[in-house]
Amino acid sequence: MTSLPKFSSLEAVSALTADLPSYDSAAAEAAVARQNTLTKPPGSLGRLEELAVFMAGWRGTAQPEINKAQAIVFAGNHGICAQGVNPFPQEVTHQMVANFKAGGAAINQLCKVAGADLSVVALDLDNPTQDFTTSRAMTESECLAAMQAGADAVDPEADILVLGEMGIGNSTTAAALAHAVFGGEARAWVGRGTGSDDEGVRRKADVVSRAVTLHGSAEKMEILQAVGGREQAAICGAVLAARALRIPVMLDGYICTASVAPLHATDSGLLDHCLVGHASAEPGHHLLLDGMGKEAVLDFKMALGEGSGAALALNILRGALACHNGMATFAEAGVSDA
């Protein structure tokens, strides 16, 4: 097994690709061969078949199972809130972390239904990142520490990793990350987040535009340091650790997907083991999915965050594997496949 990454510098992330496990084509081909023997017309289960083969390739077995599903919500606070980009105070991040731990949030209920073990990792909530319209959001050491916290939170025994986030102001952070990586107009990446009105959306777009102009020289993982947050950095670290362990990842919606945009900018192959659980109601998410060449598992018009869409999509993934592993073949059922 590949050892878990230790993040010594942001520049070193670029060199990780060569040392990380790749897709097991032989296991995937064996999974396809099994699909073709099951008691159904070929391809009739559509994307469920694709998901089963995806899991086979990353778990390295023709009949993968989810015996242990891990869900992690990373939480952080953001200096960009000084620009008035959010209608809620940052204390809400603390309060929601307490709610997660008490079992009272949507993600708690969805993890119970999906059979996922949930943990919450709060990242220095009393020390928000810097306002990225005036300086980089984090020092390199702060960014690396958050990445390492994310990597260290991954359970090596997990068969699937579900990722979510919480942080007042982080829809603006997500828009800045997406805009910095994929360009276009700042306004295209900005949505209402937790309830911004039209003026709030205009303010967010202006903030994102100014920030990306200020940090225009940042490239690849430096973008994460420049306009990201601690929870975004932790998500990147968790994604890389999961790759080292051959654990597929189910990302949540816009903020989670934007969190890994710097990994995509560094090497798009770093996200090959990642699924996106749902297409967020935030308008920038569809642009982001197109830019990354990914298709969400679900589109339920959700925009809650917390990992809620990813946890819901885990049920679909379980269904895909139940059919893949549990259905009879034509020979076993005595059904003619002619």
Quick: pLDDT tens for 252-264: 999 999 999 999 9
**Range 298-323 average pLDDT:** 97
Quick: pLDDT tens for 189-227: 998 877 788 887 899 999 999 999 999 999 999 999 999
Q: Is the pLDDT assigned to residue 286 strictly greater than 60? A: yes
Quick: pLDDT tens for 11-25: 999 888 888 999 999
**Range 93-101 average pLDDT:** 98
What average pLDDT does the structure give for the chain? Answer: 96
What is the per-residue pLDDT for 193? Answer: 77
Portion of the chain with pLDDT greater than 70, in percent: 99
Residues 218 and 116: their CA atoms lie apart, in Å, by: 37
* Strand ranges of the sheet holding 69-75, from the earlier edge strand across to the other edge: 116-122, 69-75, 160-166, 249-251, 274-276
What is the per-residue pLDDT for 338? Answer: 65
Closest by CA position to 159, among listed 62, 238, 250, 248: 248
Catalytic site includes residue 295: no
Closest by CA position to 180, among listed 221, 140, 146: 221
Catalytic residue among 91, 282, 306, 332: 306
User: pTM (2 decimals)?
Assistant: 0.97
What is the per-residue pLDDT for 1? Answer: 46
H-helix or E-strand containing 74?
strand 69-75
Residues 32 and 150: their CA atoms lie apart, in Å, by: 33
What is the per-residue pLDDT for 115? Answer: 98
Residue pair 306/252 in contact (Cβ under 8 Å)? The answer is yes
